[in-house]
């Protein structure tokens, strides 16, 4: 029996230090594969590096693009994809052949499955709970930001954010996962369309999962199938500071929504990135609420939710500035 073809769709922005490991891992772990790498105008020389290192690799297609966001990058990948199934993943995710085969078999066992995500774990062995999410309803979000989910981690009432009441090591349905690893049945596009490009950096995954479930498909978490995730490598988190050129490189500028910052001290770029990432996260929260929940809740609750998002954004900005100027982080 012929091995199904998998299209790996990877969007890269300034993670040159991970690209060789990522691409090589995919080539080594699935024979009938195509890798579509969309480079979003990386300022660290990522595209040139890929051309130099993998220019003769027939299974790899490099798309050089303006930085129109993660969703736009995924949509460019879809246009080139010819596989039976699509896998969206970050340059910081490293699946094994066994993991891919298990997810494929489970997908083919049930046509109602629209998306599968594995049990992502970080380099220190911890479970990445961002891959095991509930939808951010007002109550779920309130419970999360009031730390009620931390106080009652196994409560269905208080920990809907990470669905902590589910056994993390089993196979079960979830609401949503992160786009660092999504095994997708292309049949879902016929009902939901492609990625919403209004989501630039955050929220695209929650929106995609929400529409998949609204269309009647299942989103499955395979807790028995583990995949390594170098968490934070794509957005300059401290957890990735040891990775060369994983959003930590020494380059002239970085950009979000066509904005630029000139190179000064390395910290100038990093704090600029962190502030803009915080703002993009808040924009995504507002967009998701207005798109999917605005008509479900009354105007008073809507006002409270939007005010809450603004308040959380200001606290995060204060934390970034405080850590940088006081603790030099």
Reported as a single tens digit per residue, the pLDDT across 50-84 is: 999 999 999 999 999 999 999 999 999 999 999 99
CA distances from 73 to 44, 78, 138, 140, 167 (A): 18, 9, 30, 30, 34
CB 119 within 8 A of CB 223: yes
Q: Quick: pLDDT tens for 195-215.
A: 999 999 999 999 999 999 999
Higher pLDDT, 269 or 5: 5
Gap between the Cα atoms of 93 and 2, Å rounded: 26
| Helix-helix angle 204-214:70-80, to 10 degrees | 60
Q: Using one digit for the tens of pLDDT, what is the confidence trace for 170-197? A: 999 999 999 999 999 999 999 999 999 9
| Mean pLDDT over each residue of the chain, to the nearest integer | 90
Using the structure block, give the residue that is written with the tokens 């770029």: 269
Give the list of residues 6+ apart from residue 76 with CB closer than 8 angstroms, or none. Answer: 38, 63, 65
Indicate the domain borders of the chain.
6-132+168-229, 250-325
Beta-strand runs (E) in the chain? 6-12, 33-40, 60-65, 85-89, 93-94, 113-121, 171-173, 181-184, 218-229
CATH topology of domain 6-132+168-229: Spore Coat Polysaccharide Biosynthesis Protein SpsA; Chain A (3.90.550)
- 95-104, 246-255, 263-272: which range is least confident on average? 246-255
Q: Rounded distance, CA 66 to CA 250, Å?
A: 20
Model pLDDT for residues 120-163, shown as the tens digit of each residue: 999 999 999 999 999 999 999 999 999 999 999 999 999 999 99
Sequence-distant (≥ 6) Cβ neighbours of residue 164 within 8 angstroms: 129, 149, 153, 154, 155
């Amino acid at each position: 029996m012929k091995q199904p073809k998998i299209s790996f769709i990877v969007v890269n922005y300034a993670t040159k230090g991970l690209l060789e490991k990522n691409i090589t891992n995919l080539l080594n772990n699935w024979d009938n594969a195509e890798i579509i790498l969309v480079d979003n105008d990386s300022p660290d020389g990522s595209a040139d590096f890929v051309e130099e290192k993998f220019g003769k690799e027939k299974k790899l297609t490099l798309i050089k693009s303006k930085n129109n966001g993660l969703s736009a990058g995924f949509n460019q990948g879809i246009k080139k994809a010819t596989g039976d199934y699509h896998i969206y993943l970050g340059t910081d995710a490293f699946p094994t052949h066994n993991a891919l085969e298990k997810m494929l078999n489970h997908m083919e066992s049930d046509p109602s499955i629209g998306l599968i995500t594995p049990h992502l774990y970080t380099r220190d062995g911890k479970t990445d709970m961002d891959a095991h999410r509930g939808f951010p309803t007002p109550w779920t979000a309130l419970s999360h930001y009031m730390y009620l989910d931390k106080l009652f981690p196994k409560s269905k009432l208080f920990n809907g954010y990470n669905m902590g009441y589910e056994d993390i090591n089993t196979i079960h349905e979830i609401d949503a996962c992160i786009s660092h690893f999504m095994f997708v049945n292309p049949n879902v596009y016929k009902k939901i369309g492609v990625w919403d490009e209004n989501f630039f950096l955050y929220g695209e995954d929650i929106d995609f999962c929400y529409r998949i479930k609204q269309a009647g498909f299942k989103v499955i978490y395979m807790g028995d199938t583990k995949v390594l995730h170098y968490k934070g490598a794509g957005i300059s988190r401290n957890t990735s500071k040891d990775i060369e050129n994983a959003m930590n490189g020494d380059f002239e500028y970085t950009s979000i929504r066509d904005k630029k910052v000139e190179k000064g001290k390395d910290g100038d770029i990093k704090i600029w990135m962190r502030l803009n990432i915080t703002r993009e996260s808040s924009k995504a929260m507002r967009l998701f609420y207005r798109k999917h929940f605005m008509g479900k809740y009354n105007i008073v609750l809507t006002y409270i939710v939007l005010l809450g998002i603004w308040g959380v954004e200001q606290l995060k900005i204060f934390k970034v500035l405080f850590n940088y100027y006081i603790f030099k982080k």
